[in-house]
Amino acid sequence: MTTDTYKQALKQAKADLVEQVAVLGTAQDSAKKAEKAIVELRQTIAALQVLCGEPEFVEEDALGLTDAIRMAFRTAARDMSAHDIREHMEGMGYAGRWGNLLASIHTVIPRLHKKGEIEPTGNVNGKDTYRWVGHPIPTQNALLDRVLAAGRSSRAIPVMEERKPGQAPRPPNWKGGLPAPKK
């Protein structure tokens, strides 16, 4: 193979990467919208079953306790204590699904904090509160920056620092200013 063939393959790989990052962004937006709709439907079902005098609706899904707690944090959009999480989950239709829900929430919170998915925000009325931080997911610009940076050096693609959602993307060699030009 000639150098031109490699350059063409590299150009195509970069274009494919940009395309797949865009697909991922669209999928993440769709997932957020679907998650919000699911929460709203569960709340509607929980309220209507009480009004109709029907027994509790038990939904068969693969959503475990930790994922349900994550969903509660994401959809509440506010700082919450373990008690707030329990109330929010019950409002989402998860009342009675787990034995001692509050104790289970107290078990899951330290794990989510250790993984960096939530952060402590203080103490209200003697109860620790937490905020959803989420999983650091590189943005389309951050991934493109990595690809372009790798094309300027002979090293492998540099590792991006993890960022909170909404934080501006930065190139891997960012020191607070513009990256130094490569020679």
What pLDDT was estimated at residue 140? 52
Phi, psi of 163 (to 5 degrees): -130, 155
Across the range 73-77, mean pLDDT stands at 83
Across the range 72-96, mean pLDDT stands at 85
What pLDDT was estimated at residue 26? 87
Least confident piece of the model among 3-7, 32-36, 54-58, 152-156? 152-156
pLDDT at 79 over 70: yes
- pLDDT band at residue 78 using 50, 70 and 90 as cut-offs: confident
Q: Kindly report the CATH number that applies to the domain delimited by 8-167.
A: 1.10.10.10
Work out the percent of the chain whose per-residue pLDDT is above 90. 11
- pLDDT band at residue 110 using 50, 70 and 90 as cut-offs: very high
pLDDT at 119 over 80: yes
What tokens appear for 60 in the block? Answer: 């068969």
Question: How many alpha carbons lie under 13 Å from residue 147 in its C-beta half-sphere?
Answer: 18
- Of 175 and 34, the one with more pLDDT: 34
Residues 6+ apart with CB under 8 A from 172: 145, 146, 149, 158, 159, 160, 161
- In angstroms, the Cα distances linking 49 to 14, 15, 52, 71 are 52, 51, 5, 22
| Short-list 109, 111, 115, 114, CA closest to 129 | 109
What pLDDT was estimated at residue 158? 42
What pLDDT was estimated at residue 155? 45
What tokens appear for 106 in the block? Answer: 């107290």
Across the range 27-33, mean pLDDT stands at 83
pLDDT at 154 over 80: no
Residue pLDDT, tens place only, 38-54: 878 878 887 888 888 87
CB count within 10 Å of CB 156 equals 7
pLDDT at 56 over 80: no
Query: Residue ranges of the domains in the chain?
Result: 8-167
What pLDDT was estimated at residue 65? 84
